[in-house]
Structure 1
Amino acid sequence: MKKPSKKTLKSFLAYATTLGFAQANPSDLEFTKFADSSLTPSPACLAAHANGDVYVGIDLLGSLGKGPGKGSIVKLQDTNNDGKADKHTVFAELGHPRGIVAMGDKVYVLHADYADQKEMQGMYLSVLEDKDQDGVADGPAKHLIKDVSTIKFNRSRGADHTTNGIRMGIDGWIYIAVGDFGFVDAEGTDGTKMTMLGGGILRVRPDGGEMELYTYGLRNIYDVAIDPFMNVYTRGNTNDGVGWWIRFIDQIQTGDYGYPSLYMYFTDEIIPALCDLGSGSGTGALFMDEPTWPAKYNKQPMMADWGRNHVYIHRLTKDGPTFTQDVEDFVGLSQPTDLDVDGSGRMYIAAWQGAGYKGNPNKGFVERVTPKGLNYKPFPELSKLKGEALVKGLKSPSATARLATQQEILNRGSKVAPNSVLAIAQDASLSLECRTAAIFTYAQMTGKDGIKALMALAEDASVREFALRAATDRKEVAKHVPVEPYLKALKDTEPRVQVAALVGLGRIGKQEVASEVVKLAITEPRKFVVPSVTKPLFESSSIKVDQTEQVSVKLDGESNRLFLIGDEDGDNGGDHIVWFEPKITNADGKVLELKKWKKAKQGWGKTALNKSASNKPLKQYGGKSFAYGIGSHTNSSIEFNVPKKFMHGTFSATIGFANTSNANAKAKFIVSHSAPGGSSREKGPHATPNSKIVIPHIAVQTLRELGGVDASLAAIDSPAQDGAIWALRRMHDSKGVDGLIAKLNSSSDQTLKVKLMDALARLYSKEAPYDGSWWWSTKPDPHGPYYKTTTWSESDKIASAYLAEMAKADAAHKALYTVIAKNNKAFIPGINDVVVDKGPKLPKVGETSIEDVMLAFEKYKPNKANGKKVLKTQACIGCHSIEAADPKKGPDMNKIGSILDREAIAEAILKPDATIAENWVDATMKDGTIHNGTLVKKDDAIVIVRNIAGIETKLKASDVSSVKKAGSTIMGPHLLDDLTLQEFVDVISYLADKK
């Protein structure tokens, strides 16, 4: 293997730094190992009580393991404040702890229940009590919500996409991060039942009642951060290459964030993320609001990323009703899972430390982080404070103190006078954080009896948003709230107040306000491109994967634009098409080889010269070679500008396929002067802040909550036309369908007709009811607008109206309506028949999530002999010693099985920077030079380092300043992407057997 250049190493280390490696932690903070793996192995979550007790959720099953007896909550105490836990108890034993809130003498936990059986019985939100404060729960967990994740996939996969972290807001609700397993028939203590397809945020009262959805359309979120003003933030996880990367999201109540069906092609209907951060794995979350912390770290969300070995700060800037953000490095440590802060300002971070996907009893720790010179003050014992002294805690600059105080006030019930809290809410001299805490506390204390005072507070512009929000925060109270202050607030100059009013009106639930709500649903009109109906110069028949065809087409000289189009022909699995030797020959015999194009689009991968869509060297399926070719993937369009002297020439090429794993692939090839009419919906920005969409989006969501069909139909002829139609296409209501059809038949406005046809196409199908029997896996189809479609009572009526309008349309609009039906998954007979994807496809490592690769060890029987054979064909042998007799190079793999198990070896290959060999070091010289490689020898006289090329460098020990485990490796993360899962299992099993 060629020795990497200094430039390559430098660029790689720069890249590694972005992933959280090779970076010093802030010098103005102090770091202490609070607990090691002997106390907290495989910590999945933690919570800091205001008094400084730390509850750590231990999960020795990791994310993919299965079986009982592997989970617990450990309570840690630091009785002398030296930064190390000196007292611990096993607080409770339960499966898969995923989120903890410690409040008073209660500990809320999101966990699995095995009930002494071999299989998981369900995921639950539960509460445990410790009234005698002996560090052990007084009894078994009391379930607040049952079945809050799908049981089938928790059993078959493990808990990697299950329901996760919990956090309490100053509104008193417990917010729950729901992974994209979703849940079926989750049930609260009051009998409320809910089903949810995919990920989102669920919230519930601390007694398990009033369960409701907060936001939805998310992927696999792990935790939430909540600020003093009830802004909720998440840092989500990637869908392994299907366009949904790590993203930081401002979660606005009732918002739809689009996963997986809207975020790519229907972005005008979602609230987008604030940023796209590339690969990683968002985990724990905390909004830091503690007066003991330096201003540069304070009043910002801190988000852990397990995949990047880092905790980040997302620095926020107000942007209308939402924010923009700038992400900053904060703290680097090994696979952080969760973080929290106590009432004295001491922060705790749980770290997985390479414990793997099935846990490890010898990995994991908890780190304590404090500002240097922290003046530690023990948190007061709230239960012993008298009424006035207790209420004073709402004035604290500490968010932890305010929340703990609020919960103690609520626990005392009528023993605390509501007016003492109201006085804080009314005091304009206090901070907005304190007044907001008092407003939400007062609302919870008084219920409907506090409405009058809250409406008076709503006259104060500085707290109007929070008063309006608090008054309608409980639906049982909201039905008693007058609508007039909310209708007035719809016209407020502050957009956040408008959002609060819209959400509030939806919760009050009076349908007559819909006519005012729809006025805020003003949005940009959808763009529809009427397809060209120009007949193509050439269109092939269906070409199968093992076929080629010669193309020879005379150009007509009418246009200098030439499009080479690949149509998927009903199958988009492995359609790696190729235009071999495309060229134009003019009348003088001069040849223009088409190797440079103006622009190209493809359904997957890249369009490239002499490479396939998967960026592999171009070979025709079956092995025939050509001088050059353009590889792409259906559906594709490659546009060329043709020089004038070639506009009457003859185009020629050979069409066919590149190597593909799908033997059933087929495609049609088209040569045309016009762009394909196959899509009127372009991919939109789904991770770019768009504050202008928030108010119309929430207005539409409120119209749906109110059932505002009549108001939306009436607004079709108003400035809110586009928002009204948006609302109607999201409401499967027979009256709405009738109204849209009537408007379609009576209107002569062609632009409006297109919008109405789009709405009807959308309404033809609906999302099939979710029953928990299936899951869309880690790479779902993002084309939308539904994932699994079904028809409903109005589908036939819609089909008749749609076909009737098509019959009256000109040729161009007929083509457009066909496209609209396909885009909306409206399977109207004769227009858009259902196409069944056929043919087996062998899954490859590069096309599979790392979690599914790990699960392959359970699915495939290993063939170690084949693994040895396959490994010899891979790049690994260029840098590693595999057999005992091999020349020594990088980290020796000859005995790797005695160091790492199967899953750990797999992770080391798939995510090389997450698991670096202990003897792969950076030897730093006193002059700053770094020698990277395998540590061969180190004593008082000499240090020997063998680099990746197998060259040993002998260094005088006196010239070496440090020898440390390397922060990064030059090994890339995609070395074995082309192996099938079976081949990968074979290779890893072969290596694991080398002991």
Structure 2
Amino acid sequence: GKGPGKGKIIRLVDTNGDGKADKHTVYANIDNPRGLIAVGTKLYVLHTVIPANVGKLTGMHLSVLEDKDWDGIADGEPKKLISDISPPKHNQDRGADHTTNGIRMGIDGWIYIAVGDFGIHGAKGTDGTELTMLGGGVLRVRPDGTEMEVYTHGLRNIYDIAIDPFMNIYTRGNTNDGGGWNVRFIHHIQTGEYGYPMLFKNFTQEIIPALVDLGGGSGTGAMFLQEPGWPEKYNNIAIMCDWGRSQLIIHRLTPDGPSFTQKPENFIRLHQITDVDTDASGRLYAGAWAGAGYRGSPDKGWVERIVPKNWVYKPFKSTAKSTDQELVNLLLSESSTARLAASQELLNRPNAMNAVAAIAANKSASLHSRVAAIFTYKQMAGPKANKGLAKLSADQTISEWVLRAIADRKTQLEGVNKEMLIPGLSDKNPRVRVAAAVALGRLGDKSAAGSLLSVANPPGEEKPIQAPANPPAFQTKAFKGLKTYPVDVDVSKFKQIYLAVTDGGDGDGEDHGAWFDPVFENGAGKQVKLSTLKWKSAKSGWGKIGYGISATGAPLKTGKGKLQPDGLGTHANSVIVYDVPAGAKKFRARVGLANTSKGRGKIQFIVSNSMPSISGSSSSKEGPHAKPNSPIILPHVAVKALVDMNAVEPCVEAVGGPNSRGALWALRLMHDEKAVEGLIAKYGSAVAEKFRPGILTALIRLYQIEAPYDGSWWWSTRPDTRGPYYRPIQWEGSKKIAPFIKSVWDKGEYRQIIATNNAKTRSGIKGIDIAKIADAPQEPEKPTIDLSAIARTKGQVGKMSIEDIILALADVKGDPERGEVLFTKQGCIACHTTSPDETPKGPYMGQVGAVLSRDQIAESILKPNASISQGFATVSVLTKDNKSMVGFITSESAEKIEMRDIAGQAHTFQVSNIKTRTELKISMMPAGLANSLSISDFASLVSFLSNKKG
């Protein structure tokens, strides 16, 4: 329960094995328990604290309870292991849907914690370790609350964690709300950066991508199933709950270097499934929310037991009552649940240590048993295990896990040296190479930096640096609105002309750009229409390129509706190349948004005599954030190791040599004045001349740093994804970087590279303005749809009860094509889109049929306040100059927010000018929008939406 005094942990027992709980106890009354791990007499729980006298959440903690007498009731109050594991403010303001969630223990004995993108501020472990993390990821801690550390970072709304017998970790996360609640399946590599939200769009070369974007859904519980009672087809599988699709889904995994590729497969359908787990007898348990709504219900939801056909129950003996030998034998079990239970109990049996070590060395034992033994032995022997484990590293079968275990705990590195680890960097097994690089980073010995640099170059051949491109002859600022701007460029020395259109950095999908009345003109004033010429090449980010047509294929018109039969329509990001006609002196045109953008795009125009550098264009090297990229993993973790050990001097020294690209990647992440000074000095050396563009790129990236996170703010459901920082600020090194970059600029060196990086990183180094700038004021959109008038019109739907309408829908299927017409007629298009190519407005309907049933869609239309779509809460804003606005937020950055009102009109507010911002408990969608419809038409509208499955 969300309120004070509503939460409890209930212990259910099936005493006769018939699949139904016949005994239960209230184990503990505790607010909002979010994750549980049972180990022997202990129960680890992630929970909130909601004092009755306060009535709202004041903290979230990881705690442990214990039931030593096994009476099913905790013996006392919970003991905190980590305090303040999620910022209270965000949980109070929004609720707990982006907060810290599930927990799971690995065979290595760490507790792994799924942290949503509320992040962490000031979490504190029992040993005094404090941790702050901007954004989401996986945290881990020892079972006594010590050694808390970040395992992976850069994820959004992860909910639970699956861990396989080989310490591969998997989660489901997602991307932004609104444009699609798309679910991503992620394989976690230790120290990996997954990029959300600052890097995953525009700096994808620096992240480890997710394995797949699965479209709409809502990821919840997760586990890896390995139980001997299950048939081979349904064993050794990663299984993930999808609350939105009401499915338990298998991800079939295929090795791909140090990672995997995957193939999803529906497994078990269960209404709004929330979580899944198994016991040591092989029984699978799944929780069903079952229509309890976003606020919960005490009368709905259940836990279901699932077993294979012909499954036979085999009792699992209490590990506390087992002998040492029985526990050692359990490490050889085919059940991952049994092995973990045995491993944890063996920590209390020091006399069994040698027998455990023998299994680790036993080449005839199964690999999962040897891995379990390696990590159990390390936990039993502590740092004394390192020497014995090192002897096993020559065994290729287990060397990956030996290296991981040796460096697993930074407090237990006695006797560990780089010589134990460096050979792993050249191992034939890519998983061993990654394990060695991570281990060296944990060791922190800077003298190993050279070895790490040898594997740090990103994949791909080094391309020769071309001669610096000339700056554009013309470039506008990014602008919106209906106005057009003149282009008048001297092309007398041009052989070719490049006409480029790029988006304004806001990711808007309606960037329908156009070159209006484009002509070449000779010295005598004679003009040649561009439409009479054939382009040499043309590439566009989306849609059509052509004379007299917009990117949609519609007749080309200016924003104010003037027909342009000779204009050139396109869509950002695009580059169109022409040979300049002989004798041409001028290129003239007007540029602006085509009327098909409805003034909602944000766009920028460039004219150049060489290929301009456009962030996000088809010529960009950025890649997808949800497509396997196994070759990047080893360089990625090697660079992270170099950064973690602050290997500034070795990286600077490496610039100019064969490992320059990896060194520069690491240096642009090291905010150390020695790195700045070293890069500036290196720029002037002859040995590094080839890498001067990379040096400039690194310095411009270092000009700003992420502001310290104080937990007082959250980036909302639509954060600014431009990157590379969310709230960039200058630091001491900035004072040295800016004058150096300006001096290079003033010499005319690498101006295109400087300008491109200055813009891409939003550094704002002064004096790097290379273009003629058009003043481009924004004009507000005009409302076109009166939703209130639609709601006032009464028809058959408006005269019936909701219950009768839902019953009628069972008999009336409707016409989806008619429904598409009604989607526009009833005003739905004011706030909703159905195609990923459209600009996101309100809740995205392109995959609603995959998430909601027909009845749920109907209820959402008829009762919009019953369940407000995630990310589209109604917000009231009052500015410092007493202007007010009620709407929902469509995008938000640290500087501004964009909102849409009830008519679908867009408004922009500077964050610094906002006096109050309040989230209301009502939906922006007014009730009654379907009142004027007949049952047949309403069924058609529902059928149209039901068919939208992404």
Same fold by TM-score greater than 0.5: yes
- Alignment-derived partner of residue 481 in structure 1: 416
* Alpha-carbon distance in structure 2 between the residues aligned to 1:837 and 1:553: 19
Change (3 A) 1:889 1:192: closer
CA contact (8 A) 1:246 1:282 kept: yes
* Secondary structure at 2:15 match in 1: coil
* Secondary structure at 2:34 match in 1: strand
Shift of 1:510: 2.3
How do 1:243-282 residues align onto structure 2 when only pairs under 5 Å count?
Answer: 245-282=182-219
* Alpha-carbon distance in structure 1 between the residues aligned to 2:612 and 2:727: 27
Alignment of 1:829 with 2:829, yes or no, is no
Deviation readout 1:743-798 (Å, 9 max, x if unpaired) = 11223754311111111111111111111111112222222211111111111111
- Alignment-derived partner of residue 360 in structure 2: 425
Structure 2 gap segments, 5+ residues each: 811-841, 862-887, 891-898, 905-922, 933-950
CA contact (8 A) 1:517 1:699 kept: yes
* Alpha-carbon distance in structure 2 between the residues aligned to 1:542 and 1:685: 24
- Alignment-derived partner of residue 77 in structure 2: 140
- Alignment-derived partner of residue 850 in structure 1: none
Alignment of 1:82 with 2:18, yes or no, is yes
- Alignment-derived partner of residue 366 in structure 1: 303
- For 1:434, the aligned partner's letter is S
CA contact (8 A) 1:114 1:122 kept: yes
Shift of 1:236: 1.1
Alignment of 1:704 with 2:643, yes or no, is yes
* Alpha-carbon distance in structure 1 between the residues aligned to 2:605 and 2:854: 50
Match of residue 397, structure 2, among 462, 468, 473: 462
- For 1:260, the aligned partner's letter is P
Deviates more, 1:273-282 or 1:397-406: 273-282
* Alpha-carbon distance in structure 2 between the residues aligned to 1:772 and 1:329: 39
- Alignment-derived partner of residue 869 in structure 1: 789
Match of residue 639, structure 1, among 569, 576, 579: 576
- Alignment-derived partner of residue 265 in structure 2: 328
* Alpha-carbon distance in structure 1 between the residues aligned to 2:154 and 2:15: 44
CA contact (8 A) 2:480 2:777 kept: no
Shift of 1:597: 11
Deviation readout 1:548-575 (Å, 9 max, x if unpaired) = 467799998976766253674x998898
- Alignment-derived partner of residue 47 in structure 2: 111
Match of residue 490, structure 1, among 406, 425, 438: 425
- Alignment-derived partner of residue 47 in structure 1: none
Change (3 A) 1:72 1:659: farther
- Alignment-derived partner of residue 35 in structure 2: 99
Shift of 1:638: 5.0
* Alpha-carbon distance in structure 2 between the residues aligned to 1:252 and 1:308: 28
Deviates more, 1:672-681 or 1:327-336: 672-681
Shift of 1:84: 2.1
- For 2:271, the aligned partner's letter is S
Deviation readout 1:403-435 (Å, 9 max, x if unpaired) = 00111122x254x43112112212221101111
Change (3 A) 1:541 1:72: closer
Change (3 A) 1:489 1:872: same
* Alpha-carbon distance in structure 1 between the residues aligned to 2:439 and 2:931: 62
- For 2:46, the aligned partner's letter is L
- Alignment-derived partner of residue 748 in structure 2: 809
- For 1:497, the aligned partner's letter is V
Change (3 A) 1:539 1:784: closer
Change (3 A) 1:444 1:550: closer
Change (3 A) 1:624 1:132: farther
Match of residue 628, structure 2, among 685, 689, 694: 689
Deviates more, 1:592-601 or 1:439-448: 592-601
* Alpha-carbon distance in structure 2 between the residues aligned to 1:520 and 1:450: 28
Change (3 A) 1:572 1:283: closer
How do 1:572-583 residues align onto structure 2 when only pairs under 5 Å count?
Answer: 576=511, 578-579=513-514
| Identical columns (%) | 45
How do 1:187-336 residues align onto structure 2 when only pairs under 5 Å count?
Answer: 187-240=124-177, 245-336=182-273
Deviation readout 1:507-548 (Å, 9 max, x if unpaired) = 222222222222221324787777743764x76799772434
Change (3 A) 1:823 1:619: same
CA RMSD of aligned residues (A): 4.4
- Alignment-derived partner of residue 401 in structure 1: 338
* Alpha-carbon distance in structure 2 between the residues aligned to 1:818 and 1:200: 33
* Alpha-carbon distance in structure 1 between the residues aligned to 2:556 and 2:808: 34
* Alpha-carbon distance in structure 1 between the residues aligned to 2:372 and 2:70: 28
Change (3 A) 1:652 1:802: closer
Change (3 A) 1:993 1:485: same
* Alpha-carbon distance in structure 2 between the residues aligned to 1:427 and 1:619: 76
Shift of 1:819: 1.3
Alignment of 1:720 with 2:647, yes or no, is no
* Secondary structure at 1:255 match in 2: coil
Shift of 1:100: 1.2
Deviation readout 1:218-264 (Å, 9 max, x if unpaired) = 11111111111111111212213679942222111111111112222
Match of residue 675, structure 2, among 732, 736, 757: 736
How do 1:960-975 residues align onto structure 2 when only pairs under 5 Å count?
Answer: none
Deviation readout 1:303-329 (Å, 9 max, x if unpaired) = 122222222222122222222222222
Change (3 A) 1:806 1:588: closer
Match of residue 523, structure 1, among 458, 461, 473: 458
Shift of 1:724: 1.2
Deviates more, 1:718-727 or 1:190-199: 718-727
* Secondary structure at 2:501 match in 1: strand
Change (3 A) 1:660 1:980: farther
* Secondary structure at 1:303 match in 2: strand
How do 1:578-597 residues align onto structure 2 when only pairs under 5 Å count?
Answer: 578-579=513-514, 592=531
Deviation readout 1:351-404 (Å, 9 max, x if unpaired) = 222322222333322222211101210111221112212221111110000000
- Alignment-derived partner of residue 285 in structure 2: 348
- Alignment-derived partner of residue 35 in structure 1: none
Deviates more, 1:173-182 or 1:441-450: 441-450
Alignment of 1:388 with 2:325, yes or no, is yes
* Alpha-carbon distance in structure 2 between the residues aligned to 1:456 and 1:649: 75
* Secondary structure at 1:308 match in 2: coil
Deviation readout 1:144-195 (Å, 9 max, x if unpaired) = 1111111111110000100111000000000001101101010011111000
* Alpha-carbon distance in structure 2 between the residues aligned to 1:794 and 1:552: 40
Match of residue 449, structure 1, among 370, 384, 408: 384
CA contact (8 A) 1:265 1:784 kept: yes
* Alpha-carbon distance in structure 2 between the residues aligned to 1:699 and 1:736: 18
* Secondary structure at 1:268 match in 2: helix
- Alignment-derived partner of residue 501 in structure 2: 565
Shift of 1:595: 13
- Alignment-derived partner of residue 852 in structure 1: none
- Alignment-derived partner of residue 56 in structure 1: none
Shift of 1:269: 1.7
CA contact (8 A) 2:503 2:511 kept: no
- Alignment-derived partner of residue 785 in structure 1: 724
Match of residue 766, structure 1, among 690, 705, 710: 705
Change (3 A) 1:795 1:551: closer
* Alpha-carbon distance in structure 2 between the residues aligned to 1:394 and 1:388: 10
CA contact (8 A) 1:479 1:509 kept: no
Change (3 A) 1:620 1:271: same
- Alignment-derived partner of residue 16 in structure 1: none
CA contact (8 A) 1:559 1:647 kept: no
Deviation readout 1:279-317 (Å, 9 max, x if unpaired) = 222221111111111111211211122222222222122
* Alpha-carbon distance in structure 1 between the residues aligned to 2:801 and 2:361: 80
* Alpha-carbon distance in structure 1 between the residues aligned to 2:519 and 2:736: 50
